Chains A and B, each alone.
Chain A
Amino acid sequence: MWMYALRRLILTIPILLGVTIICFALVQIAPGDPITSLVRPDTPPEQIAMLRAYYGLDQPVVVQYFMWLWRVLQGNFGTSIANNAPVAAEVMRAFANTIVIALISVVLAFIVSLILGTIAALRQGGIVDRLVTALAVFGISVPTFWLAVVLVIFFAVNLNWLPATGMGSGGSDTFNYFDWNDFKFAVMPIIALALPPLAIMTRTTRASISEILNQDFIQTLRAKGLSEFAIITHAIRNIMPSAVAMLGLQLGYLIGGSVLVETVFTWPGTGALLNKAILTRDIPLLQGTILVLAGAFVLINLVVDLAQSLVDPRIKRT
């Protein structure tokens, strides 16, 4: 098991290198010039050239890449062009905000989808099944930003149960997820984030459970005299490998794709940061954010692979 984990870990190194190259290249091929967007239009060309040299932008691309990579490996993601603050600290703070609500959302979605999907599979064609299917279709088709706005109108404006936006008075530095006064700010973002993965995972759970229930070994279990509950336990255990894979995939989407939700709720996460970096052409910030997100994605996949080898004995662990 440990050897398998180590091997998978080593295998992520080339992937991460590829990630850095793409991150770097993406920014290089993007239109727009960071210096001209930074300075006033009437800045003399000598001054622009000086700034270029200062940020290393006058070097050949390959050299720029290795200079950048070397700094990144030391944890130095550069300095934000927009506000002169170190990128690493800013990205990490935002990433922490994003990953926590993404994790809560996806775990919540996972558990609820297992329950709903299983019930729907057991009651195929029944009213519960139809309701669950309706919910799933709703969750898949509704745009999250619209849902987010509706949530705000309903729970914040009309009912006044939950705060509309932000992270509360203390901001992200003093935010405590175990204190309701802080956590209530996270409730609506979590719901808005959880709905699409909930819908997708409910659909896949329903499909996989009903597929498993048609397998021969279910009849064996019944012939052994096991209770229906025990049989369903076997079925749920059997969809775990695919469910865990789905979970990882959805978590990946959430940490990368929460731009809209974070913007609506002004949740200071990576999505909001990405948005800011793009609008201000803050290249170091953009690179740093994308790099952290991509790295997190690779790591999540690693964890999912390891988790899968734990839940599925058929995956070779050597």
Chain B
Amino acid sequence: MNEMRSPDLSQVEAQNEKPDAYVKVKDLQVRFVSREATVKAVNGVSFELKKGEVLCVIGESGSGKSVMMRSLMQLHPKKRTRITGEMKIGEHDIMTATDKQMSELRGSTVSMIFQEPMTALDPLYTIGDQIAETVMRHEKVDRDAGWKRALELLELVRVPSPERRLKAYPHELSGGLRQRAMIAVALSCRPSLLLADEPTTALDASVQIQVLVLLRKLQREMGMSMIFVTHDLGVAAQIADKVAVMYAGRIIEYGNARDVLMHPEHPYTRAMLSSTIKDQKKGAQLETIAGTPPDLRALPDGCSFAPRCRYAGPDCFETMPDEVTDGRGHMARCAKVNVVRGLLAFEPGIPAAPALA
């Protein structure tokens, strides 16, 4: 079977080269080193993202999604972090950028929304100041112009009575409003890439949808590319063009949102999808994935998911499986997945993958 796959693979990779990719990440590796151990947080992540596209990165806690995003902005402490690979945003090479160049890129070309609106804003500065200081920093305008822009931005993110909210401190706003303010900060200098690190996770369910719809709308209007990290598959289905599933610091399945969420091939993606709440009968047991994610300080040689995979054979524990990509750009990193008639297919004899309704 391995002999069959090799020729296919090279062909497909050639087809996949997109000349108009805006974000290019190739073989990104991130290690956190300390005296006790080295944590292999990201282990060779590659993807490309076009202008105006939304990539959703899904995976459980500790799968390296946030680390990968923070690397794109070089937000990790330099001393303890080792990053290798390639990262490009537009014409900017993130790997070779100096600190000064990086701080100019941050907040203007690429900006970020964080998970916790409660703690991501400075408690002692007004919302207006926190938006205006970004504008002042990047567009070299005075405080008045900064505040004027801050007011426009609060209107843009639909904050009610924005004049009053500009002078408010973070603790005076609700979680949803705070996250809107955070979005206003991130959008203040019209970034072309927005990194959203679980921006709706800490919010109430009803507010989640509002913020999500708002983000999607603004992303379209401003033509931004967006990388959206979440562990909520429903969220991914709503806003993603492309979906990447991460496990133990690797992308183990990647493709168009429809392909990945409707026809998942990697056993991990399948298991994850079948563990969501859909149309199960009342009282029915939810499916779970047995075991826990691997220790990133001591990753196994073979497929990282093998110890939890119900289909794993002896080979799976030996070597890391290669990426298998079909003609539609759907990729899975699994030894049991092959390309059959131009599409990914799991090894015959295993029931069809459950799809996300």
Residues of A within 8 A of B (CB): 215-217, 219-227, 230, 234, 237-238, 240, 311-314
Q: Which residues of B contact A217 (CB under 8 A)?
A: 119-123
- Complex: A221 Cα to B120 Cα, angstroms: 9
- Complex: A23 Cα to B258 Cα, angstroms: 80
Q: Which of B33-41, B55-63, B102-110, B266-274 contacts A (4 or more CB under 8 A)?
A: B102-110
Could you count the A-B residue pairs with CB atoms below 8 Å apart for me: how many are there?
74
Could you jot down 24 A-B contacts, CB within 8 Å? A217-B120, A217-B122, A217-B123, A219-B114, A220-B120, A222-B103, A223-B75, A223-B112, A224-B107, A224-B185, A225-B103, A225-B105, A226-B107, A226-B133, A226-B134, A227-B137, A230-B137, A234-B125, A237-B124, A240-B124, A312-B124, A313-B124, A313-B169, A314-B169
Q: Is A216 a contact of B123 with CB atoms below 8 Å? A: no
Q: Is A220 a contact of B137 with CB atoms below 8 Å? A: no
Q: Which residues of A contact B124 (CB under 8 A)?
A: 237-238, 240, 311-313
Q: Is A224 a contact of B122 with CB atoms below 8 Å? A: no
Q: Is B137 a contact of A223 with CB atoms below 8 Å? A: no
Q: Does any Cβ of A come within 8 Å of B171's Cβ?
A: yes
A129 → B minimal CB distance (Å) = 14
Q: Does any Cβ of A come within 8 Å of B31's Cβ?
A: no
- Complex: A312 Cα to B106 Cα, angstroms: 29
Q: Which residues of B contact A220 (CB under 8 A)?
A: 112, 114, 120-122, 182, 185
Q: Is A216 a contact of B120 with CB atoms below 8 Å? A: yes
Interface of A (DSSP majority class): helix
- Complex: A225 Cα to B116 Cα, angstroms: 19
Q: Which residues of B contact A216 (CB under 8 A)?
A: 114, 116, 119-120
- Complex: A125 Cα to B119 Cα, angstroms: 27
Question: In this complex, what residue of A is CB-closest to B189?
Answer: A225
Question: In this complex, what residue of B is CB-closest to A216?
Answer: B119
Q: Which residues of A contact B114 (CB under 8 A)?
A: 216, 219-220, 223
B35 → A minimal CB distance (Å) = 12
Q: Does any Cβ of A come within 8 Å of B73's Cβ?
A: yes
- Complex: A225 Cα to B136 Cα, angstroms: 11
- Complex: A215 Cα to B170 Cα, angstroms: 15
Q: Which residues of A contact B105 (CB under 8 A)?
A: 225
Interface centre among A225, A234, A237 (most CB of B within 10 A): A225
Interface centre among A221, A222, A223, A226 (most CB of B within 10 A): A223
Residues of B within 8 A of A (CB): 73, 75, 103-108, 111-112, 114, 116, 119-125, 133-134, 137-138, 169, 171, 182, 185
B317 → A minimal CB distance (Å) = 38
Q: Is B138 a contact of A225 with CB atoms below 8 Å? A: yes
- Complex: A313 Cα to B120 Cα, angstroms: 17
Q: Which residues of B contact A238 (CB under 8 A)?
A: 122-124
Partner of A223, one of B107, B116, B123, B125: B107
Q: Is B73 a contact of A223 with CB atoms below 8 Å? A: yes
What would 11 more interface pairs be, CB under 8 Å, given A219-B75, A225-B134, A238-B124? A215-B119, A216-B114, A216-B120, A217-B122, A220-B182, A223-B112, A224-B106, A224-B134, A226-B103, A226-B134, A240-B124
Question: In this complex, what residue of A is CB-closest to B109?
Answer: A225
- Complex: A227 Cα to B112 Cα, angstroms: 16
Q: Which residues of A contact B119 (CB under 8 A)?
A: 215-217
Q: Which residues of B contact A223 (CB under 8 A)?
A: 73, 75, 106-107, 111-112, 114
| A-B pairs with lowest CB-CB distance, top 5 | A225-B107, A225-B106, A216-B119, A224-B107, A223-B112
Q: Which residues of A contact B123 (CB under 8 A)?
A: 217, 238, 313-314
Interface centre among B104, B106, B122 (most CB of A within 10 A): B122
- Complex: A313 Cα to B168 Cα, angstroms: 10
B216 → A minimal CB distance (Å) = 21
Question: In this complex, what residue of A is CB-closest to B112?
Answer: A223
B141 → A minimal CB distance (Å) = 14
Q: Is B111 a contact of A224 with CB atoms below 8 Å? A: yes
Question: In this complex, what residue of B is CB-closest to A218?
Answer: B122
Question: In this complex, what residue of B is CB-closest to A222?
Answer: B75
Partner of B137, one of A215, A225, A311: A225
Question: In this complex, what residue of B is CB-closest to A239?
Answer: B124
- Complex: A313 Cα to B182 Cα, angstroms: 19
- Complex: A262 Cα to B273 Cα, angstroms: 76
A209 → B minimal CB distance (Å) = 14
Q: Which residues of B contact A313 (CB under 8 A)?
A: 123-124, 169, 171
Supposing A215-B119, A217-B121 touch, asked if A222 and B137 sit within 8 A by C-beta, the answer is: no
A240 → B minimal CB distance (Å) = 8
